[in-house]
Structure 1
Amino acid sequence: MKATKRPIHAVATWVRKQPPQIKAFLAVVAVMCALVFLRLVVHDQDNLFVGAEAVHALGISVLIYKLMKEKTCAGLSLKSQELTAMFLAVRLYCSFVMEYDIHTLLDSATLATTLWVIYMMRFNLRSSYMDDKDNFAIYWVVIPCLLLSLFIHPSTQHHILNRICWAFCVYLEAVSVLPQLRVMQNTKIVEPFTAHYVFALGVARFLSCAHWILQVLDTRGRLLTALGYGLWPSLVLLSEIVQTFILADFCYYYVKSLVGGQLVLRLPSGVV
C-alpha cells in the first residue's frame, strides 16, 4: 500500500509541478498574506525593524557557533562579511550623529560579531577558506553604490556627508549578500550552518521590507515624503524589496530542504 504523503510535502510537490507564472502568483499571494499577518499581530511597526536586526544578529551567532565548533569556514564568503562590516560601520556612524537609539546598540553588537568572524576567517581558519569559490569582485557593488549615493541621498537638514553615508549604507546593504550567494552557486552544496545563516538574512530582509511597506500603507504614503523628495524615498523602498527578492529563491529551497528532512542543502543549477 502506498504511503500517504504528509500535507506539507504534498503541497510542496504540487507547487513544484506548477508553471513559473503560477509559482510567481503563489509567491505574491504568500507575501501578501504574510504582510497581513504581521499587520494584525505587530502594532508598532518599528518592532519589525528591531526584529530584523535581531534576526541578523542571530544569523551571525550561528556563524560563530559554526566557526567555534567545526573549526572551519568552508562555504562562507569573506567578501560578504567584509561588505556587511562596511555597511554596518557606516550605518553605525550615521546612527551616532543622526539618531542615537536602540538600533545603534543592535548595530554595534552585530558589527562586533561580524568583525570577529572576519578575523577568524582571515587568520585562525584561513586554511579552510575557499578562496577560489569566493570570486565575486566587490568593487562591482561598492563603486556603483558610492556613485549612486553621491547623486541620490536624503534631503534632510543633516550635513551633506552624513546624508551621502546614509544613502551608501542603504544601497550597500541591499547587495552585500551577493558574494555569499556566488560561493553557494559555485559549490552547489550548502552545509547546515551556512544555510541557517543565509536563511536568517532572508528573514531579516523580509521583516525590514515589511516594516517599510506597512509604514507606507499606514501613513498613506506620507512616510515617503517625510524621507525627503526626489528619487531617494523610492530607492529606499526599492532597496528593501531588492534585498528580499535576492534571497527569496534560496529561502524557498531552504524551506523545501527542511521539510524534506535533508541536513545538507543542494541547490539546482540556476539558483542564486
Structure 2
Amino acid sequence: MKAPRRPIQVVAAWLRRQPPKVKAFLAVVSGMVALVFLRMVVHDHDNLFIAAEAVHSIGILVLIYKLMKEKTCAGLSLKSQELTALFLAVRLYCSFVMEYDIHTLLDSTTLITTLWVIYMIRFKLKSSYMADKDNFAIYYVVIPCAALSLIIHPATLHNLFNRICWAFCVYLEAVSVLPQLRVMQNTKIVETFTAHYVFALGISRFLSCAHWVLQVLDTRGRMLTEMGYGVWPLMVMLSEIVQTFILADFCYYYVKSVIGGQLVLRLPSGVV
C-alpha cells in the first residue's frame, strides 16, 4: 500500500502536467500575489532594494563557502562573475558621483567578494574550472548593452557620461546571469551550493523588481518622471522584469527539488 502523498507533492504533480502557457499564467499570478503580500507587509518599500542587494551578497557568500570548503569551482561561470563585477563597478562609480548612500556600501561589499570569487576561479582553482561549458560569448551582451545605453539613458541634469554609465549598468545587470545559465544548460546537473547561489540571485532580482513596481504604485506614477523623461523609465522597469523572468524557471525547479529532498538539482532540457 502506497503512502499518501503530501499536498505539496500533489500540487507539484499537477503543475508538471500543465501546458507551458498555463504555467506562465500561474507564474504571473504568483508574482502578483507576492507583490500584494510585500506591499502589505513592508511599509518602506525602499527597504526591498536594500534587501535585494543583501540577498545578492548572501549568494556570493555561499559561493565563497563552496570554494573554500570543496576546493572546486566546477559548475560556476567565470564570465557571469566578470559581468557581475563589471556592472557593480560601474554602478559603484555612479553611486559615488551621483548619490552616495547605503547602496554604495552594499555594492562595495558585493564587488569585493565577487572579485575574490573571480580570483579563486582564475588562479587558485583553475584546474576545476569548466571552461568548455562556460562558452557564452559575453560580447553578445556587453556590446548591445553599451549601444543601448548610448541611445536610451536618463534625461536628468547629471553629466552625460554618468547617465550613460547608469544606463549601461542597469542593462548589463539584467543579463549578467546568462553565462551561468548556459553552464547549467550544458551540464544539466547543478550541485547544491551553485543552486543556492543562483536561487539567491533569483530572489534578489525579484525583490529589486518588486521595489520599483511598488514605488511606482505608491507614487502613482511620479516615480517614473523622477527617473527621467522619455523611454528611460520604461526601460528600467523592463530590465527589472526581464532579469526576474530569466531566473523564474530555474527558481521553480529549485523549490521543487528542495521540497523533494534532492541535494543535487537535475534540470530537464530547455529549462535555462
Shorter-chain TM-score tier? over 0.9
User: How do residues 125-144 of structure 1 correspond to structure 2 at under 5 angstroms?
Assistant: 125-144=125-144
2:93 counterpart residue number: 93
Aligned length: 272
2:191 counterpart residue number: 191
Cα distance in 1 for residues equivalent to 2:2 and 2:70: 40
Cα distance in 1 for residues equivalent to 2:253 and 2:15: 12
Question: Which deviates more, 137-146 or 22-31?
Answer: 22-31
**Which consecutive unaligned segments of at least 5 residues does structure 2 have?**
none
Question: What TM-score does the superposition give when structure 1 sets the normalisation length?
Answer: 0.99
Amino acid at match of 1:6: R
Cα distance in 1 for residues equivalent to 2:15 and 2:231: 37
Deviation at 1:29?
1.4
Amino acid at match of 1:104: T
Residue 74 in structure 1 maps to residue 71 in structure 2 = no
User: How do residues 33-182 of structure 1 correspond to structure 2 at under 5 angstroms?
Assistant: 33-182=33-182
Cα distance in 1 for residues equivalent to 2:198 and 2:147: 28
Amino acid at match of 2:249: D
2:221 counterpart residue number: 221
Deviation at 1:207?
0.1
SS in 2 for 1:86: helix
The C-alpha deviation readout for 1:240-269, integer Å capped at 9, x for no partner, is: 000000000100100111111100000001
Amino acid at match of 2:221: G
Question: What TM-score does the superposition give when structure 2 sets the normalisation length?
Answer: 0.99
Which stretches of structure 1, 4 residues or longer, exceed 6 Å deviation after superposition?
none
The C-alpha deviation readout for 1:13-67, integer Å capped at 9, x for no partner, is: 1111122222222111111110010000100010000000000000000000000
1:257 counterpart residue number: 257
Deviation at 1:9?
1.1
The C-alpha deviation readout for 1:86-138, integer Å capped at 9, x for no partner, is: 00000000000000000000000000000000000000000000000000000
**Which consecutive unaligned segments of at least 5 residues does structure 1 have?**
none
The C-alpha deviation readout for 1:220-248, integer Å capped at 9, x for no partner, is: 11111111111100000000000000000
Cα distance in 2 for residues equivalent to 1:86 and 1:173: 9
Question: Which deviates more, 9-18 or 141-150?
Answer: 9-18
Cα distance in 2 for residues equivalent to 1:127 and 1:52: 33
Amino acid at match of 1:149: S
Deviation at 1:150?
0.6
Cα distance in 2 for residues equivalent to 1:23 and 1:73: 33
SS in 1 for 2:65: helix
Deviation at 1:2?
2.1
1:208 counterpart residue number: 208
1:11 counterpart residue number: 11
The C-alpha deviation readout for 1:178-220, integer Å capped at 9, x for no partner, is: 0000000000000000000000000000000000011111111
Amino acid at match of 2:155: S
